[in-house]
Amino acid sequence: MEFLDLLSLGFSEALTPTNLGFCLLGALLGTLIGVLPGIGPTATIAVLLPITFYLPPLAGIIMLAGIYYGAQYGGSTTAILVNLPGEASSVVTAIDGYRMARNGRAGSALAVAALGSFFAGTVATFGIAIAGPTLSSFALSFGPAEYVSLMLFGLLAATVLARGPVLKAIGMVLLGLLFGMVGIDASSGEERLTFSAVELFDGIDFVVIAIGLFGFAEIIENLENHEARGVLVTKLSRLWPTGEDFRRAWPAVLRGTGVGTFLGVLPGGGATLASFCAYSVEKKASKNPKEFGNGAVEGVAGPEAANNAGAQSSFIPLLTLGIPSNNMMAMMLSAFIIHGITPGPTVLATQPEIFWGLVASMWVGNLMLVVINLPLIGIWVKLLTVPYRLLYPAILLFCCVGVYSINNRIFDVVLAAGFGLLGYAFRKAKCEAGPLLLGFVLGPLLETNIRRAMTISHGDPGVFYERPISLLLLIATVGMFVLMILPSFRRTRQEAFQDEEA
């Protein structure tokens, strides 16, 4: 009965006119950036973070969450109709989705993608509602030692699940930890890596590094691409799957939902990894794997369900433990902190309206996205005709305004531009920036909890392995490290990312 009362509280918060309006705005913006290649939800949320400071806490968080999972819907539309994925997680959708459109089955592919995403989103939202209170109750027994072990496990897992060589991912995490050390040390009062710059005494602001690595770097990289975009005008004869499509799609949707929900919770996981893994699962589960690449409906249903489930289930570790599982959740963590909210086990007890309002808004947002995407397909596709030479100056302007508005300093804009160049160099070197952002966010938290644990134990390092939960997490971390150095594991990991690299 208590669960239903809390769910009712969530819907009463989510369905207020203000929160409903910002949920719709987030869904629309998410669809828009999903449709338009070269922008992405990471850069968009980084730009909009400062704006949420002026919004009610729940409304701002609902809008940013809607942008994230809304982008998964929008990316599938252009992937299917014009073979142009607007979002990384929709790359595999284009393989069979575009072929279905060429074969006159565009309506069926779009409907399967939308309905599969809605089902997966509903399941993932229900999973958050069920797992949230349970994990939060468990996390209340965590002390500083447990959080240190959990963060170490999360950072190492992020390197395993990151694209590219493991050594590069580890290097990015270490670089993120280094950037997180910049500023005045809270305990000793000594300057660390400030180079006597007064502007760095308070450290590097999260928005500065996020907009630089993802906003500016994205713009620089896309300026290299030519505007050769041919839009296939496909007449949608019917916007509903056939009985045969339904029969083949639903098992794939169920498998994709399971894969996405599981990978979304893991550190370093999320929508993109989930969609590629789901596509591999469908190829292996199919009786006719040769159909994949030629318009197999399972190649659309599985990845689309997985990316939406992965996007929403990645909120579970953030909301229950206060630990971001990927770069998008690091952005969401900053949104909570901007409003003075520390996500974790205490939120459910002290601010239940925030947790349950966000959970309820996810289901409402998924319902909105089905309505937004299917009837308005023509409008979204026409947006692709907007020249990029008009889009990029506008995006750059928003980035600069967003960075400047934090502290009203030109220094921050220049610093963000520097991170933009650094982010562009990382992309050329095929180094993923996500682990760096995780290291940057978790570094100060890791340092704080290490100091707390050592203070409580009077300098005895045994506190990390004498507590059972901490010991289990450390064993898991060591086990993962041993697994990483095994040649057979490295080969399997390389094969898993081979399709994505292509």
Length of the chain: 502
Ramachandran class of 431: left when φ > 0, alpha when ψ lies in -120 to 50, beta otherwise: beta
Contacts 24+ apart (CB under 8 A), 167-171: 168/429, 168/430, 168/431, 168/432, 169/431, 169/432, 169/435, 170/435, 171/431
pLDDT of residue 419: 92
3-state secondary structure of 161: helix
pLDDT at residue 227 is higher than 60: no
Among 382, 463, 442, smallest CA distance to 144 is for 463
Please state, for a pLDDT cut of 90, what percent of the chain lies above it. Answer: 8
* CB of 69 closer than 8 Å to CB of 422: no
From first CA to last CA, the distance across the chain in angstroms is: 51
* pLDDT digits 0-9 by tens, 235-287: 555 667 777 878 888 899 999 999 888 888 776 666 777 887 888 788 878 87
Angle at alpha carbon of residue 117, lines to 322 and 221, rounded to 5°: 70
Query: Residue 333: CB partners within 8 Å, gap ≥ 6?
Result: 318, 322, 324, 343, 441
What is the mean predicted confidence (pLDDT) over 418-424? Answer: 91
Q: Is the pLDDT of residue 232 over 70?
A: no
Beta carbons within 8 Å of 110's beta carbon, 6+ residues apart? 76, 77, 80, 81, 236, 239, 373, 374, 377
pLDDT at 129 > cutoff 60: yes
pLDDT, mean over the chain:
81
Residue 79 has pLDDT above 50, yes or no: yes
Rg from Cα positions in the chain:
22
- For the segment 438-464, the average pLDDT, to the nearest whole number, is 86
pLDDT tens for each residue of 329-364:
888 888 888 888 888 788 887 888 888 999 999 999
Is 77's pLDDT higher than 70? Answer: yes
pLDDT the model gives residue 81: 77
Residue 230's pLDDT band (cuts 50, 70, 90):
very low
Q: At what angle do helices 298-313 and 271-285 cross, to 10 degrees?
A: 150
Contact (CB, 8 A) for 33 and 74: yes
**pLDDT on residue 310:** 87
Q: Mean pLDDT throughout 77-89?
A: 72
Share of the chain above pLDDT 70, in %: 88
State residue 89's pLDDT score: 72
| H/E run at residue 470 | helix 468-484
Please, is 408 exposed, middle or buried when counting C-beta atoms within 10 Å of its C-beta (0-12, 13-18, 19+)? exposed
Q: Is 249 exposed, middle or buried (0-12, 13-18, 19+ CB in 10 A)?
A: buried
Take residue 202 and report the two structure tokens written for it. Answer: 């308070």
DSSP class of residue 200 equals: G
